[in-house]
Amino acid sequence: MTSRKCYNRAFKEEAVRLAEKSGVTQVASDLGIHPNMIYTWKRQLAGIGDKAFPGNGRPLDPELSQLKKENARMKEDVEILKKAASIFLSRSGKDTQ
């Protein structure tokens, strides 16, 4: 089984730009990709412009991804501590009565 190749935004934009000058079939042949890919990229650029090629969900900044994970973990910790505090407070109220 072959894995799918991932092309970054700059590659796609350059392929479309070259295809407009030299023709889709020639550029596709030179880059080793199917011409339909260039047509698809061309439609995406024409349709949504700067929002084309958002990526596959991987963040551009690995530090940002790490910070988001850490933030989620800390939020879970806070919720656990809140629950524990409410349990201890309810128990201490029963002991004094």
Residue 77 or 61, more confident: 77
HEC secondary structure over the chain = CCCCCCCCHHHHHHHHHHHHHHCHHHHHHHHCCCHHHHHHHHHHHHHHHHHCCCCCCCCCCHHHHHHHHHHHHHHHHHHHHHHHHHHHHHHHHHHCC
Chain segment 8-53, per-residue pLDDT in tens = 788 888 888 889 888 889 889 888 889 998 898 888 888 877 777 7
Chain segment 50-66, per-residue pLDDT in tens = 777 776 655 567 788 78
Reply yes or no on domain 1-56 having CATH 1.20.1740: no
Residue 95: per-residue pLDDT: 59
